[in-house]
A = this chain, B = another copy of it.
Amino acid sequence: MSFPQAIILTIGDELLLGETLDTNSAWIATKLHETGFKVLRRISVGDDRQAILQALQEESARTDLLIMTGGLGPTSDDMTKTVLCDFFHTRLVLHEPTLQHITSWLQQRGTPLLERNRAQALVPEGCTVLPNPRGTAPGLWFENMQHTWIALPGVPHEMKGLMEEEVLPRLKQKWPALQAIQHRYVLMYGQGESQVAERLVGFEASLPKNIRLAYLPGNGLLKLRLSTVDGLALQLLEDYHQQLITLLSDIVVGTENLPYELLIAQKLLAKKATLALAESCTGGYLAHLFTSHPGSSAYFTGSLVCYNPEVKIQWLNVPAEWIQQPGVVSEPVARAMAESIREKLHTDYALAITGWLGPDGGTPEAPVGTVWIAASHQSQTLTRRHQLRGDRQRNLILSATHALHLLDELIRQTS
Contact = CB atoms under 8 A, between A and B. Distances in A.
A237 interface: no
A21 B20 contact: no
Contact of A214 (B14, B29, B44, B291): B14
Nearest to A26: B18
Interface string A323-349: 000000000000000000000011000
Determine the main DSSP class of A at the interface with B.
mixed
30 contacts: A16-B40, A16-B42, A17-B30, A18-B29, A20-B26, A40-B51, A41-B45, A42-B43, A43-B44, A47-B214, A73-B217, A75-B194, A114-B195, A114-B198, A157-B390, A277-B305, A283-B287, A283-B290, A284-B284, A287-B287, A288-B288, A291-B307, A292-B393, A297-B308, A301-B311, A302-B306, A303-B305, A303-B307, A304-B304, A310-B346
B291 A284 contact: yes
A296 interface: yes
Interface residues of A, number: 100
A277 B273 CA distance: 26
A311 B306 contact: no
Given A18-B27, A41-B45, A308-B345, 15 more contacts: A17-B33, A18-B30, A22-B42, A40-B45, A41-B51, A73-B217, A75-B215, A114-B194, A116-B194, A157-B390, A157-B394, A284-B285, A287-B307, A294-B359, A294-B360
Contacts of A76: 197, 204, 213
Contacts of A362: none
A307 B300 contact: yes
Given A17-B33, A41-B44, A296 B311 contact: no
Contacts of A345: 308, 311
Contacts of A160: 391
A52 to B, nearest CB: 10
B308 A391 contact: no
Copies in the complex: 2
A231 interface: no
A264 interface: no
Interface in A247-279: 277, 279
Contacts of A202: none
Contacts of A47: 214
B301 A308 contact: yes
Nearest to A224: B75
Contacts of A225: 19
Nearest to A119: B194
A75 to B, nearest CB: 5
Interface string A215-243: 11110000001000000000000000000
A23 interface: yes
Given A16-B29, A23-B21, A303-B305, A288 B283 contact: yes
